[in-house]
Amino acid sequence: MTDRAGRRPLVAGNWKMNGLKADGLALTDAVLAGVRGGAWRCELLVCPPATLLSLVGDRLKGSPVRLGAQDCHHKPSGAHTGDLAAPMLADIGCRFVIVGHSERRADHGETDAEVKAKAEAAMAATLIPIVCVGETLAMRERGDALKVVAAQLAGSLPVGASADGLVVAYEPVWAIGTGRTPTTADIGAMHQALRAELKRHLGAESDRMRILYGGSVKSSNAAEILAIDGVDGALVGGASLKAEDFLTIARACA
């Protein structure tokens, strides 16, 4: 089913650095048990840690739940110890990959240019990059949130992006894992600003591009957030580690 301007909502679970084999498979099985027999308005995606990608991918085969990775390298192969190339992720069944998450930008010093290169590598491997942008609390309190996020987006957008081949996620850094969320007015204003920026860079093609909200999305606030005009789904962190919470958020798309 589709939403505004033909955009089908996407609810993506980012498991981050959580889950051993037993945990990950149990969570996967619980999510699959919850989706069986249902008609889902949104597209569902889980992004396990790298150690679980192949195992979880095998479980998801034939289901409506997509598989995604949390990062990729910008080169397709080579001497890059510890990194994973986008073609490797596609080879084990990934359909999406998160790039530029604020935790990667902060912990690994990733720049907009690096995020752009990773997004382009993902697209070259037929993966859909989820490009993350978002401001810190200090930036918002200075009144710079819109300016900062617009600049991040401009610097991170891959060349040749299309509506079917790219997702943008707005995640205010100060809301990730803190239990705090912006007001609905603030979320709506940022999504409208991002839509305008996408249109400026990509033209009419951007009308069908999905913009997700992330940052302390949980079962108790999902319906309110997903009802905001311009919000095309959610990038869910901690709440995606509990199957029922994740599925409750997905149901809120209705």
Please return the burial class of 11, using the count of CB atoms within 10 Å of its CB with bins 0-12, 13-18 and 19+.
Answer: buried
**Torsion-angle region of 24 (φ positive above 0: left; ψ -120 to 50: alpha; else: beta):** alpha
Continuous H helices in the chain: 21-35, 53-60, 86-91, 102-108, 112-124, 137-141, 145-156, 184-202, 222-226, 243-251
- For residue 68, give both structure tokens: 């995604």
Q: Is 188 flagged in the annotation as binding? A: no
Q: Is 100 flagged in the annotation as binding? A: no
Q: Is 77 flagged in the annotation as binding? A: no
CB 55 within 8 A of CB 29: no
Catalytic residue among 43, 103, 171, 197: 171
CB 44 within 8 A of CB 11: yes
Q: Is 78 flagged in the annotation as binding? A: no
Alpha-carbon span 231 to 234, nearest angstrom: 8
Which of 154, 156, 149 shows the shortest CA–CA distance to 118?
Answer: 156
Q: Is 19 flagged in the annotation as binding? A: no
Q: Is 171 a catalytic residue?
A: yes
Catalytic residue among 73, 74, 101, 191: 101
Binding-site residues, in ranges, read: 14-16, 177, 216, 237-238
Which residues belong to the active site? 101, 171
Binding-site residues for substrate, in ranges, read: 14-16, 177, 216, 237-238
